[in-house]
Amino acid sequence: MKKPYEEIKLQGESFYLLPQRAMYRPSKKQLILSDIHLGKAGHFRKQGIALPMQSHLKDIDTLQFLLKLWHPSTVLILGDLFHSTYNKEWLLFKSLLTGFEQIRFVLVEGNHDILDKEEYLLPNLSTVKVVEDSKFIFSHHQLPDPQKLNISGHVHPGIQLFGIAKQSIRLPCFYSGKTHFILPAFGHLTGIHLLEREDESDYYLIVEDGIVRL
């Protein structure tokens, strides 16, 4: 049966996996997400390839919806907030931040986050390389041989399922392995990277508005 979220335990702690491709950590009131790729549309536009603006409001709307639903105190973004350089979507995102000034936004920098440092100067936004606490280490890329469970993004994980009669279906997923946990990409303009399935790992598929454990 579908639930609005799926509760799982990581290192004994509860996390809620959300079908909006994000994760909530109730003990710290943290909303965790990755790879929004804001401004992908704008980036194409600069290359002379025009994309209409409407297509990109969706991610910001979804984020706003989650902020109102879960009332987090911190939003942890695991990199690739922006697709590339300065763009209009960034202004929209800024105004969203200003609207939720009680929430602290922490950006773990990713390979696409190449804005001027000054642009990040907002009272409730900070940027870091990694975030570490007693049980977890959060980063954009997967870290080699982490000492603690490494929670990251970057990969845009997905799974392809094959059934009989040549049926197949591709879905984004959360990957949960022994040493690494990977979030799906939050942005809807992003593609997915298909993972090879490992027996000892868990995969949580995003199926429309629910989560299905494989």
Partner 1 sequence: MCIATDWFKLKKWKPFAFQKATWKAIAEGKSGLLNSPTGSGKTYAIWFGIIESYYKQFNKKKKPKDSGLHCLWITPLRALSKEILLSAQQVSKDMELDYKIALRTGDTTSTERTKQRKKSPHALITTPESIHVLLASKDYDKFFAGLEFIIVDEWHELMGSKRGVQVELAISRLKALNPDLKIWAISATIGNLEEAKEILLGNKTENSVTIKTDLEKVIIIETLYPDVVEKYSWVGHLGIQLLPKIIPIIDASNTTLVFVNVRSQAEIWYQRLLEEAPHLAGVIALHHGSLADSTRKWVEEHLHKGSLKAVICTSSLDLGVDFHSVDSVIQIGSPKGIARFMQRAGRSGHHPGAVSKIYFVPTNSLEIIEGSAIRYAIQENLLESRIPYVRSFDVLIQYMVTLAVSDGFKAEALFEEVKSTHCFESITWEEFTWCLDFITTGGNSLKAYDEYHKVVLVDGLYKVTNRAIAQRHRLSIGTIVSDSMMHVKFMGGKKIGLVEENFISRLKPGDVFWFGGKNLELKLVRDMEARVKISNKKSGKVPAWLGGRLPLSYQLSNSIRKQLDDYKNGDIHNEELRQLGPLLDLQSKVSHLPDKNELLIEQFKTREGYHLCVYPFEGRFVHEGMGSLLAYRIGLLEPFTFSIAMNDYGFELLSDKKIDVDLISDNNLFSPEFMYEDTLKSMNSIELANRKFRDIATIAGLIFTGYPGHQKKTRHLQASSHLFFKVFRDYEKENLLLRQSFAEIHDFQLEINRMQNAFDRISKQKLVVTYPDKPTPFSFPILVDTLREKFSNESIQTRIDKILNSVQK
Residues that bind partner 1 (CB under 8 A): 2, 41, 44, 47-55, 161-167, 169, 171, 205, 207-208, 210, 212, 214
Overall size of the chain counted in residues:
214
Minimal distance, residue 120 CB to partner 1, in Å: 27
Q: Which of 131, 88, 90, 81 is CA-nearest to residue 111?
A: 81
Query: Which three-class secondary structure state does DSSP give residue 13?
Result: strand
Contact predicate 206/172, CB 8 Å: yes
The CB-of-44 to partner 1 minimum distance in angstroms stands at: 6
CB of 64 to partner 1, least distance (A): 20
102 vs 167, beta carbon nearer partner 1: 167
Distance of CA 22 to the CA centre of its chain: 5
The whole-angstrom separation of Cα 106 and Cα 131 is 9
Q: How far is the CB of 205 from partner 1 (least distance, A)?
A: 7
Distance CA 8, CA 101 (A): 30
Q: Name the minimum Å distance from CB 153 to partner 1.
A: 21
Pick between residue 129 and residue 166 the one whose CB is nearest to partner 1.
166
**Residue closer to partner 1 (CB basis): 30 or 190:** 190
Alpha-carbon radius of gyration of the chain: 17
- Would you say 122 or 169 has its CB closer to partner 1? 169
Read off the tokens for 32.
């965790």
Name which of 12 and 163 has its Cβ closer to partner 1.
163
CB of 122 to partner 1, least distance (A): 26
* Nearer Cβ to partner 1 (27/164): 164
Alpha-carbon dihedral of residues 93, 96, 97, 99, nearest 10 degrees? 160
C-alpha to C-alpha distance for 200 and 88, rounded to whole angstroms: 43
